[in-house]
Amino acid sequence: MGDSGGLLFWGVLIVMMVVFMFLPQYMNRRRTKQRERELAVGDGVITIGGLMGEITYIDWDENLARLTIADGVEISILPSAINGKRAETSDELADGEPEAD
């Protein structure tokens, strides 16, 4: 009867390790893939390097995306380097002038 207590302890320990170590990694990968699937041509995005631009081309089979970061400047990047969609700004803030209080 004493061995069953030790076996139960190790069973609970393994279940806790799976829940606390592997489940968050799995959920993070799922969220990342969902964000990638939502990307489309014309979306404003920001890369993991901090570049902000608009997607002009994306091909998941070739693992290639192109961003326009300025007029006449287009770069090729990996789609996995896109951190997420850029937050839309209001027209007043897009002018570059701060709002008056």
Taking the C-alpha atoms of residue 99 and residue 97, their distance in angstroms, rounded to an integer, is: 7
Residue 52 token pair: 């902000």
Phi-psi region of 85 (alpha: psi -120 to 50; beta: other; left: phi over 0): beta
pLDDT of 96: 56
Residue 4 pLDDT > 80, yes or no? Answer: no
Rounded to whole angstroms, how far apart are CA atoms 60 and 38?
Answer: 12
pLDDT at 66 over 90: yes
Whole-angstrom distance, CA of residue 65 vs CA of residue 39: 10
**How many other C-beta atoms lie within 10 A of the C-beta of residue 81?**
13
What is the reported pTM?
Answer: 0.59
pLDDT at 100: 56
